[in-house]
């Protein structure tokens, strides 16, 4: 059925397509519709099982974007992907917190709503997901993108316990609103209102989150905590640049797979997928790639 997601044992690679001027690692590169579609097709060729299209940056400090502007960025790209037949072979996700954007994206061929607010930002989102039959990804975030990493830093008594309780509560909320549990994925929100140690603790203890029984999405790709770790190892004060964080991205994705992650959200699909293939072969048949099978 449309929107149903895989069980928590198999893994898929979600390729990131930011149609924004200000995303932290590739802002402005794919604002042009043709460039965005070409990049999407390249991600599919590299092995992306899901394309995650977003028109509003969620980097720390990012300012909100009006729905009209967000739609103007993503809708031509989604329509172009549909016209090119991409939505027939590859699942397309819309990365948005706005029901109006999600509705237009679903009409244009998307079948998954990736909502970093976990259905909190827009009161109409849960009903839209329930009625449309789309899948959804519910993510943990402390605060809002523009405030989540302010001076003083985010505070938790136990980051894993609190993230798990939040995700469980949001999943129960979604089900009460009519979303079938089989359509739900969960994301601990690496880098969203967390310190370096919070992120590492979540990665170490992913099995506690995977125990919730839904496919677990992990997005560490090019994130600043990797830049900080690599820089510290090299004796540098400032984090290394985003394009130098691929080794850390690969390492964390392989570890996340071993600890129960089902969907790995990345910018660099080909090298991460190759690393995951080797890791999965080593771990055994429980960790099997989905290939290009749709989740509908």
Q: Check 73, 222, 223, 273 and give the catalytic one.
A: 223
Q: Check 12, 73, 222, 265 and give the catalytic one.
A: 265
Going by C-alpha positions, the residue among 8, 80, 3 that lies closest to residue 256 is 8
Q: Tell me, yes or no, if 265 is annotated catalytic.
A: yes
* Residue 206 CB contacts under 8 Å (≥ 6 apart), including other chains: 188, 216, 218, 256, 259, 260, 261
Q: Calculate helix-pair angle for 159-176, 125-132, nearest 10 degrees.
A: 60
Q: Tell me, yes or no, if 98 is annotated catalytic.
A: no
Residues annotated as part of the active site: 223, 265
């Amino acid at each position: 059925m449309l929107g149903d997601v895989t069980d928590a044992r198999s893994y898929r690679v979600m390729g990131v397509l930011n149609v924004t001027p200000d995303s932290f690692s590739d802002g402005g590169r794919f604002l042009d519709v043709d460039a965005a579609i070409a990049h999407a097709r390249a991600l599919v060729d590299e092995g992306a099982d899901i394309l995650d299209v977003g028109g509003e940056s969620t980097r720390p400090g990012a300012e909100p974007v009006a729905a009209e502007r967000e739609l103007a960025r993503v809708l031509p790209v989604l329509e172009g992907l549909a016209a090119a037949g991409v939505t027939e072979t590859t699942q397309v996700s819309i990365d948005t917190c706005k029901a109006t954007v999600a509705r237009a994206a679903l009409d244009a061929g998307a079948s998954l709503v990736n909502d970093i607010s976990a259905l909190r930002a827009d009161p109409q989102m849960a009903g839209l997901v329930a009625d449309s039959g789309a899948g959804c990804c519910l993510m943990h975030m402390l605060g809002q993108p523009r405030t989540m990493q302010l001076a003083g830093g985010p505070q938790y008594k136990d980051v894993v316990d609190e993230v798990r309780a939040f995700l469980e509560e949001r999943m129960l909320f979604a089900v009460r609103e009519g979303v079938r549990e089989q359509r739900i994925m969960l994301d601990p929100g690496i880098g969203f209102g967390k310190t370096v140690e919070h992120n590492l603790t979540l990665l170490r203890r992913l099995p506690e989150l995977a125990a919730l029984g839904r496919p677990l999405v992990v997005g560490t790709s090019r994130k600043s905590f990797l830049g900080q770790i690599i820089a510290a190892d090299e004796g540098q004060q400032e984090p290394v640049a985003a394009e130098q964080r691929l080794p850390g991205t690969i390492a964390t994705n392989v570890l996340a797979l071993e600890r129960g992650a089902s969907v790995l959200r990345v910018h660099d699909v080909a090298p991460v997928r190759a690393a995951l293939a080797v890791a999965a072969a080593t771990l055994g048949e429980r960790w099997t790639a989905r290939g290009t099978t749709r989740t509908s």
